[in-house]
């Protein structure tokens, strides 16, 4: 591979992926490399991607981003988890909270003790032991306090990209407005040499980051890197997005409401609400989807619903030659668990750790790609879980989901939980044991047994410990301000941001 040192980084695309990457690279390596970003106002961005997970906070720490100005600029609200409605059965609901559920014990995960108590007649749901879930259900939120809440953000995607730009440009990122016409390859090596814009400007570089969204101009259209399609497991392939006026105080959680052929999101920001309908075009027409979305949203739409088509899957090798694909150019898994921005941020972090200052290395590239595949497959399995474990048979779509074959990696997890209530988080896995357990129980997967070590705790002692835990959570929640009041006090949205 190329022996030349890497000094000039060119980022193609200025959506969330492009600006996340630009801001992080300049912050970490400003004195060592030059970073140029090309974006086209005429093409614009995908304009969605508003719900995050707690890892966003770690990434912001890396960038030295203060929470208050970020929240104000992105008109953001806080998020404690996701409410899943109508998934296992029409009329059901469960919550996937951030943070820890219950209290661990050296003998085993909390859910074994909860299962034992339930077998003995206790009726409190698993989520009764989640501080985040209880706070969310009462619409309460504050930073600080003990025990601390684990949280993420709902943000305005366009304003977020602008905010990152406002950090990256003064730090040294050179932004060029223009449409890329040609990706110029070195005739001998096949590596990317430069981007040529419609204006005739040529931008040379050593490393190219493809953040051109679904177009995948560099990694797909030019280098022809294969796309591994996962549509056989995740049948949804279209979305309609629309913003509405707020109709009440913003809740500190995302809602994912299943319908006959997919699901609908509801993401509350400080100044408006983001809504969207995700659906499978094999089962629902675009017109029906639009009518359903407009029928079900609350609040006046601020514009016509915007259609988005997508394929689920990822590039077989997101780092190929001197090009790395980030964001939608690298792949897409629908936003049911709000994982896409996380996958961008974690890839950028890995790029920083493995930055090829001395030149491209096949070993470094191979490891980067192997880690990406493992991460993406893990997220994919977690999403499939929600569809596969449905008991709904009211539409052909849900019957297909229920009856479809699933990847072996997921089948193994389901068997472990069904047989022995076991769940685990592997080395590069995003989702923790509590996440798997919350969703598997929420989707009505009932374990046949729990770990017998839980028997070692006498029933009265267990009952007392669980009661104490609920009391502690109750007190903590009661002393937490209402979410809306905290937003107004701490980080009121800047209208002009």
Q: Which residues are annotated as catalytic?
A: 79
With respect to ligand FAD, which residue has the nearer C-beta, 316 or 449? 316
C-alpha–C-alpha distance, residues 87 and 398, integer Å: 10
DSSP, res 329: G
The torsion defined by the Cα of 228, 9, 206 and 321, in degrees rounded to 10, comes to: -10
CB 122, min distance to ligand FAD, A: 35
With respect to ligand FAD, which residue has the nearer C-beta, 111 or 342? 342
Binding ligand FAD (rule: CB under 6 A), the pick from 276, 305, 313, 331 is 276
C-alpha–C-alpha distance, residues 156 and 233, integer Å: 30
With respect to ligand FAD, which residue has the nearer C-beta, 210 or 381? 210
Alpha helices by DSSP H, listed for 337-395, are: 340-353, 362-388
With respect to ligand FAD, which residue has the nearer C-beta, 178 or 442? 178
CB 460, min distance to ligand FAD, A: 45
CB 439, min distance to ligand FAD, A: 17
Binding ligand FAD (rule: CB under 6 A), the pick from 5, 44, 147, 190 is 44
If we measure between CA atoms, which residue out of 123, 147, 105, 122 comes closest to residue 472? 147
With respect to ligand FAD, which residue has the nearer C-beta, 338 or 422? 338
C-alpha–C-alpha distance, residues 450 and 321, integer Å: 49
C-alpha–C-alpha distance, residues 290 and 177, integer Å: 34
Alpha helices by DSSP H, listed for 197-312, are: 286-296
Show the site string, 348-387: x = touches ligand FAD by CB under 6 A, - = not. ----------------------------------------
Any contact of residue 45 with ligand FAD (CB under 6 A)? yes
If we measure between CA atoms, which residue out of 43, 276, 72, 44 comes closest to residue 155? 72
Size of the site for ligand FAD (CB under 6 A): 39
Any contact of residue 174 with ligand FAD (CB under 6 A)? no
CB 489, min distance to ligand FAD, A: 26
> Looking only at residues 290 through 349 of this chain, which bind ligand FAD when binding is defined by CB under 6 A?
308, 310, 327-329, 335, 338, 340-341, 344
With beta carbons less than 8 A apart as the criterion, state whether 198 and 178 touch.
Answer: yes
Integer distance in angstroms from the first to the last C-alpha of the chain? Answer: 44
Any contact of residue 158 with ligand FAD (CB under 6 A)? no
Q: What SS3 state is found at 67?
A: helix
Token pair of 216, please?
């995948």
Any contact of residue 13 with ligand FAD (CB under 6 A)? yes
Q: State the DSSP string of 257-307.
A: EEETTEEEEEEE-SS-EEEEEEE-TTTS-HHHHHHHHHHH--S-BSSPPEE
CB 416, min distance to ligand FAD, A: 28
Token pair of 120, please?
């003995």
Q: What are φ and ψ of residue 196, in 5° steps?
A: -110, 130
With respect to ligand FAD, which residue has the nearer C-beta, 71 or 329? 329
Q: What are the b/e assignments for 470-492, b being 16+ CB within 10 Å?
A: eeebeebbeebeebbebbeebbe
The torsion defined by the Cα of 341, 342, 345 and 346, in degrees rounded to 10, comes to: -150
Binding ligand FAD (rule: CB under 6 A), the pick from 1, 43, 194, 420 is 43
Any contact of residue 46 with ligand FAD (CB under 6 A)? yes
CB 288, min distance to ligand FAD, A: 18
Show the site string, 178-217: x = touches ligand FAD by CB under 6 A, - = not. -xx------------------------------xxx-x-x
With respect to ligand FAD, which residue has the nearer C-beta, 82 or 487? 82
If we measure between CA atoms, which residue out of 61, 69, 128, 60 comes closest to residue 95? 128
Any contact of residue 157 with ligand FAD (CB under 6 A)? yes
With respect to ligand FAD, which residue has the nearer C-beta, 25 or 445? 25
CB 239, min distance to ligand FAD, A: 4
Binding ligand FAD (rule: CB under 6 A), the pick from 22, 49, 417, 436 is 49
CB 375, min distance to ligand FAD, A: 14
How many residues are listed for the chain in this entry?
497
The torsion defined by the Cα of 159, 327, 201 and 361, in degrees rounded to 10, comes to: 140
With beta carbons less than 8 A apart as the criterion, state whether 223 and 365 touch.
Answer: no
Q: What SS3 state is found at 347?
A: helix
Residues that bind ligand FAD (CB under 6 A): 13-18, 38-40, 43-46, 48-52, 157, 179-180, 211-213, 215, 217, 239, 241, 276, 308, 310, 327-329, 335, 338, 340-341, 344
């Amino acid at each position: 591979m190329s022996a030349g040192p890497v000094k000039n980084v060119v980022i193609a695309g200025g959506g969330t992926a492009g600006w996340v990457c630009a801001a992080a690279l300049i912050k970490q390596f400003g004195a060592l490399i030059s970073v140029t970003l090309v974006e086209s106002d005429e093409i614009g961005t995908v304009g969605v991607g508003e719900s995050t997970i707690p890892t966003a906070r770690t990434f912001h720490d890396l960038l030295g981003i203060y929470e208050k100005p970020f929240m104000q600029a992105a008109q953001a609200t806080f998020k404690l988890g996701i409410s899943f409605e109508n998934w296992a059965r029409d009329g059901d609901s469960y919550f996937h909270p951030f943070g820890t559920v219950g209290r661990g014990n050296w003998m085993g995960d909390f859910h074994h003790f909860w299962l034992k108590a339930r077998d003995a007649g206790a009726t409190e749901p698993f989520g009764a032991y989640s501080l985040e879930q209880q706070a969310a259900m009462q619409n309460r939120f504050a930073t600080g306090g003990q025990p601390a809440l684990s949280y993420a953000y709902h943000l305005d995607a366009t304003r977020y990209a602008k905010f990152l730009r406002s950090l990256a440009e003064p730090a040294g990122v050179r932004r060029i407005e223009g449409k890329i016409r040609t990706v110029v390859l070195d005739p001998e090596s096949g590596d990317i040499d430069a981007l040529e814009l419609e204006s005739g400007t040529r931008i040379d570089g050593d490393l190219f980051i493809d953040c051109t969204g679904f177009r995948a101009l560099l990694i797909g259209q030019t280098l022809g890197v294969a796309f591994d399609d996962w549509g056989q497991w995740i049948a949804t392939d279209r979305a309609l997005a629309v913003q509405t006026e707020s109709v009440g105080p913003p809740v500190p959680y995302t809602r994912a409401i299943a319908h006959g052929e997919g699901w609908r999101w509801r993401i509350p920001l400080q100044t408006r609400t983001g809504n969207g309908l995700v659906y499978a075009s094999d089962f629902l027409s675009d017109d029906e989807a639009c009518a359903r979305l407009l029928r079900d949203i609350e609040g006046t739409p601020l514009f016509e619903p915007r259609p988005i088509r997508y394929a689920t899957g990822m590039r077989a090798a997101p780092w190929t030659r001197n090009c790395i694909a980030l964001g939608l150019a690298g792949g897409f898994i629908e936003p049911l668990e709000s994982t896409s921005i996380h996958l961008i941020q974690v890839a950028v972090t890995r790029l920083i750790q493995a930055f090829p200052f001395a030149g491209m290395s096949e070993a470094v590239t191979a490891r980067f790609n192997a880690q990406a595949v493992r991460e993406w497959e893990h997220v994919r399995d977690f999403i499939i879980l929600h569809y596969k474990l449905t008991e709904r048979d009211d539409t052909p779509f849900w019957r297909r989901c229920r009856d479809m074959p699933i990847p072996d990696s997921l089948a193994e997890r389901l068997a472990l939980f069904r047989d022995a209530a076991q769940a685990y988080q592997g080395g590069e896995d995003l989702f923790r044991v509590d996440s798997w357990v919350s969703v598997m129980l929420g989707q009505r997967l009932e374990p046949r047994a729990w770990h017998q070590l839980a028997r070692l705790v006498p029933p009265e002692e267990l009952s007392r410990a669980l009661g104490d835990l609920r009391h502690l959570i109750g007190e903590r929640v009661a002393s937490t301000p209402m979410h809306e009041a905290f937003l107004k006090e701490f980080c009121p949205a800047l209208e002009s941001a």
